Amino acid sequence: MKIAIVGASGMVGRTFLSILEEKGFSYSTLTLFASPRSAGNVVKYQGHDLVIKELNEQSFDEGFDVALFSAGGSTSLKYAPIAASKGCYVIDNSSAFRMDPNIPLVVPEVNAHELMNMNGYIIANPNCSTIQSVLVLNALKHLGIKRVSYTSYQAVSGSGYQGIKDLERTLEGNAPEYYPQPIAHNVIPLIDVLLDNGYSKEEIKMMEETKKILNLPDLKVSATCVRVPVKNAHSVSIQCEFDQEVDLDQVKVSLNAHPFVKVSDSIVTPRDVSGHDVALVTRLRKDLSVDHGIHCFVIADNIRKGAALNAIQILEVLIERSIVHV
Ligand code: A2P
């Protein structure tokens, strides 16, 4: 299997590498691409030095089987179709293709079956906050979900190295260079751009992607997305209403059945999941303000389960189902 990583110098790109290394993935070649800024930089992988190459229109001529992309939407829009046209499966972490009806948007624990009916070679990896949220909702789907309301508390690592640097910079008392306001000792109730309807693009991503992944096009879902001064791991407060009575013990059993989800009876925080693969669900309780509803708080490492790990789980399904051959 010939693997390419696009955006290899970035936060998610580096995590693709560490997860492939942790899992002992077998491959024949592993090629790293980034912008001209990092071309020539050396990355250590399994004791070898890998040199980052500049991405260009000929990069996919050498016949890759799979490319993991995390280099932003415009890079994906330009280069993913080139890779796909050469028979390379692209697992894309940007939002460029997520809502394309012909492209599967996959969280393997929820809708891996979408990978069996693909028309093309591009697969979209969902938004980080959406991934951890749909893991919870999927376990509740059989109860007939009437309405969902999300509030996210998103770490600065979701903006890549630029976000982390801006947190450090503003913690030292300097002016922000990336976020519109200082993120240190603050929260910013806007992620991505504000749209004419009053929602942010990030909120619309959470709302629309949730419906697509769960295959519930008429689901009523709303979101408020907030950037918080946490280095890594996103939290999402979920309020969910159902058509019927909910048994919390049953919900716990369904959630714990996922290998990467654990319900915790104690209070857990982003620090407890940063660097780990599991999504922790805490504060699970009935919503006393409606007939049939729950509240919970789900926390996950947005760079691992929210991005790189989910993409590699997609790759594992492609291999298991012989769509990609090792
Ligand atoms: P580079 O480091 O050379 O700029 P992050 O989200 O952590 O900031 O990472 C973004 C990743 O996307 C980096 O690896 C970055 O490379 C890469 N990238 C950004 N723009 C391009 C581009 N035009 N072509 C290839 N890679 C790009």
pLDDT at 259: 83
> 0.75 exceeded by the pTM?
yes
pLDDT at 46: 86
Q: Which atom of ligand 1 is nearest to the CA of 71?
A: 12
Distances (CA, A) of 263 to 148, 196, 251, 288: 19, 38, 9, 20
Tokens of 198: 């009053």
**66 pairs with which residues across the strands?**
3, 89
pLDDT values of the chain reduced to their tens digit, one per residue, 326 residues? 999 999 999 999 999 999 999 999 888 899 999 999 999 999 999 888 999 999 999 999 999 999 999 999 999 999 999 999 999 999 999 999 999 999 999 999 999 999 998 989 999 999 999 999 999 999 889 889 999 999 999 999 999 999 999 999 999 999 999 999 999 999 999 999 999 999 999 999 999 999 999 999 999 999 999 999 999 999 999 999 999 999 999 889 989 988 889 999 999 999 999 999 999 999 999 999 999 999 999 999 999 999 999 999 999 999 999 999 87
Output 33-36 pairs: Cβ under 8 A, ≥24 positions apart.
33/4, 33/5, 33/6, 33/7, 33/8, 33/59, 33/71, 34/6, 34/7, 34/8, 34/9, 34/10, 34/71, 35/9, 35/71
Distances (CA, A) of 256 to 136, 253, 263: 10, 5, 6
Whether 38 lines ligand 1, by a CB cut-off of 6 Å, is yes
Whether 3 lines ligand 1, by a CB cut-off of 6 Å, is no
Active site residue 240: no
Residue 162 alpha carbon to ligand 1 centre in Å: 11
Residue whose CA is closest, atom 24 of ligand 1? Answer: 35
Whether 220 lines ligand 1, by a CB cut-off of 6 Å, is no
Q: Which atom of ligand 1 is nearest to the CA of 11?
A: 7
Whether 10 lines ligand 1, by a CB cut-off of 6 Å, is yes
- Tell me the C-alpha distance between 231 and 271, whole Å: 9
Q: Which atom of ligand 1 is nearest to the CA of 6?
A: 26
**CATH 3.30.360.10 residue window(s) in the chain:** 129-301
Whether 78 lines ligand 1, by a CB cut-off of 6 Å, is no
Do residues 232 and 244 lie in contact, with contact meaning Cβ atoms separated by under 8 Å?
no
**Cβ contacts of 85 within 8 Å, gap of 6 or more:** none
pLDDT at 32: 98
- Tell me the C-alpha distance between 215 and 272, whole Å: 31
Tokens of 260: 């990467």
pLDDT at 260: 86
Q: For a substitution probing ligand 1, which of 33, 43, 75 has the most ligand atoms within 8 Å of its CB?
A: 75
In words, the CATH class of domain 2-126+307-320 is alpha beta
**From the candidates 128, 225, 240, 296, which is the catalytic residue?**
128
- Tell me the C-alpha distance between 137 and 147, whole Å: 11
Query: Under CATH, which number does the domain 129-301 receive?
Result: 3.30.360.10
**CATH 3.40.50.720 residue window(s) in the chain:** 2-126+307-320
Active site residue 296: no
